[in-house]
Amino acid sequence: MRIFIVSIFLCLHIWQPAKAANFTISGYVYDDASGEALLGAVVFDRAINKGTSSNEYGFYSFTLPEGSHEIQISYIGYQKQSISINLNQNIQKNIRLKMADQQLKEVIITAHGNEEKAAVKSTQMSSIKIQIEQIKHLPSLGGEVDIIKVMQLMPGVKRGGEGQTGMYVRGGGADQNLILLDEATVYNVSHLFGFFSVFNNDALKDVTMLKGGFPSQYGGRISSIMDIRMKEGNQQKYSAEGGVGLLSSRLTLQGPVLKDKASFLISGRRTYIDKVLGLVGLPIPYYFYDLNGKFNYTINNKDRIFYSAYFGNDVLHEPDMQDSTGENSDSSALDFGFKLGNFTNTLRWNHIYNPKLFSDKEAY
């Protein structure tokens, strides 16, 4: 009897069906025209109702059972793309999405219970994410759209004085907010005594604000975190854009150093109210300027390096004085040369160890 029972157990063990193997498809999602990494792109398999999204560097990793799959990649404002894969090993595949330029009809937005449930189940609470292209269409002061003032309009955020850049989030103080530009801390975020922020929108790509439940990689502040990301530079072609406002002008240049391999971005902004009013005999001894720069280089499929920098100043100086002969007098005794600004720089290295492990190391 004992021998019979052991034989049945061995037979069941031998005939137990093998467990299906799982493999991983991973890579980056890019803008097809510029080569910019797309943050939060959705990668989805409708057959098994499973999906993932790209992280803040455009990297995605998606583990699926062995076999044939139809993968759909989508991003707001871009054409959806579907790819067919036969998954029998780990695959690394980069995706390029094209912008959608069709004219949309009237859109009616309604809330559904599924969206509310997703918000409740989400691990990230109190998060506001705004695309820079959306910010550019908002009303502006003197031709300059200010991301700080846009965030002041969000729920749970109260502005300081009229026109000021100070933010009071959920009862906290204006100095209790952590503001990051490409992961480097920006301490002075305003120009013109608080009427303008230091951020040039033409150089920015994405803005995320967290009002609670801060992830462990941040820390250091009590009220909120504003994570601002700069553009990486067009890897396909050279381009220039700029703008002329009542108080300042700006110019941005970007393009490939090596096509599909390395790119650069340089963006500058300066006020000229001191020059304009000086022409009509009203010397204003004040101006401010900003300069953003970024360079990125793709070493191989697993390694990519970035260097970004920002430099800006508020300059207040004593205007030139003239004596009775009409000559400029020596006003060095009165020139107090006041300057208040920021200088940040970040060196970052992205590395893919395997299809499921992505790392970002930075020095700033």
The CATH number of the domain where 328 resides is what?
A: 2.40.170.20
Question: Residue 157: which pLDDT band, with cuts at 50, 70 and 90?
Answer: confident
Residue ending a domain, choose from 97, 132, 155: 97
For residues 84 and 230, state if they share a domain.
no
**Do 207 and 298 share a domain, yes or no?**
yes
Residue 217 or 102, more confident = 217
70: domain CATH number is 2.60.40.10
Asked if pLDDT for residue 30 goes beyond 50, the answer is yes
211 domain-assigned: yes
Tokens 């990793």 map to which residue? 61
- pLDDT in the model for residue 278: 77
81 and 135 housed in the same domain: no
Residues 259-282, mean pLDDT to the nearest whole number: 86
Residue 190 falls inside a structural domain: yes
Is the pLDDT assigned to residue 276 strictly greater than 70? Answer: yes
Same domain, 165 and 284: yes
Assess whether 303 and 155 both reside in one domain: yes
Q: What is the largest CA-CA distance in the chain?
A: 125
Q: Is residue 104 part of a domain?
A: no
In a domain, 227, yes or no: yes
Domain count, the chain: 2
Residue 10 belongs to a domain:
no
Torsions phi, psi for 301 (to 5 deg): -65, -15
Average pLDDT over residues 311-329: 64
What percentage of residues in the chain have a pLDDT greater than 70? Answer: 79
Same domain for 217 and 293, yes or no, is yes
168 lies in the same domain as 219: yes
* Residue % of the chain over a pLDDT of 90: 24
Q: 19: pLDDT confidence band, cut at 50, 70 and 90?
A: low
Residue 308 tokens, joined: 């970004």
Examine the domain organization and report whether 184 and 72 are in the same domain.
no
Residue 187 lies in a domain: yes
**Residue 35 counted as domain residue:** yes
Residue 258 and residue 341 share a domain = yes
pLDDT above 50 (res 355): yes
Structural domain of 346: 123-363
Looking at the structure, tell me whether residues 83 and 134 fall in a common domain.
no
Same domain, yes or no, for 160 and 54?
A: no
133 shares its domain with 243: yes
Q: Which two tokens stand for residue 21?
A: 């193997």
Cα 40 to Cα 74: distance, rounded to the nearest angstrom: 9
Whole-prediction pTM: 0.74
| 313: in domain | yes
- Work out the pLDDT band at 175, boundaries 50, 70, 90: confident
